[in-house]
Structure 1
């Protein structure tokens, strides 16, 4: 499995920890930044992650910012991206199972790190159920 990860300064701490966690599990991860905790503009890092996932260079993506909203809005501008803002493991599972989400967006300021890590584990292990959900997913892109 290949994972693209990125975010902004408000998601920097979790991005660093999750990147290391996934690498320790033997998962290939590319960090698209930021590479320091100083203030940045999240679209500069979100667009490359979204492009990499949309182009199938990576299986899934992880985006982390303070609220999760900015990264989700930006990623969802890409036609082949279904970025899901999640704040618990049930949402992370359903995002994959029912919506075939290919990027999880995590709000660092609103979830503790253990929960963020659990959401990542859940998101990466869940599988799209297809069936009736495929018909709906087919209608998402404009």
Structure 2
């Protein structure tokens, strides 16, 4: 999925809650996401979109939730493009054009847990059939 399509999915299509493309604020989170991606996507190499982008090469990087990248970052030596992905093999970030097709990971604020609207399942319909009459035996099978 392209960066913008993945971003849109996290914002509006995620069945759990409104979320963002993954926000990675430390090495622990980067390593966790790489391990999670290996497990869920079933691959050991490749990349997935995280929620980090910039409008132009000279702009500051910002996260999908609007906060600026400040302090810690995990870029490899290749960060000349404007949309960031994380490498599954080592958790480092690299950049791509927004048209690249990548896996993606969504995240939400744990201080604002998702809310679920439980649905009331329909009551099962039951049909009861009663037979009246005397039991009889036909060919060894009792009918009644």
Check whether TM > 0.5.
no
The normalised TM-score by structure 2 is 0.28
Q: Which has the higher contact order (CA 8 A, sep 6+)?
A: 2
More helix by share: 1
Larger gyration radius, structure 1 or structure 2: 2
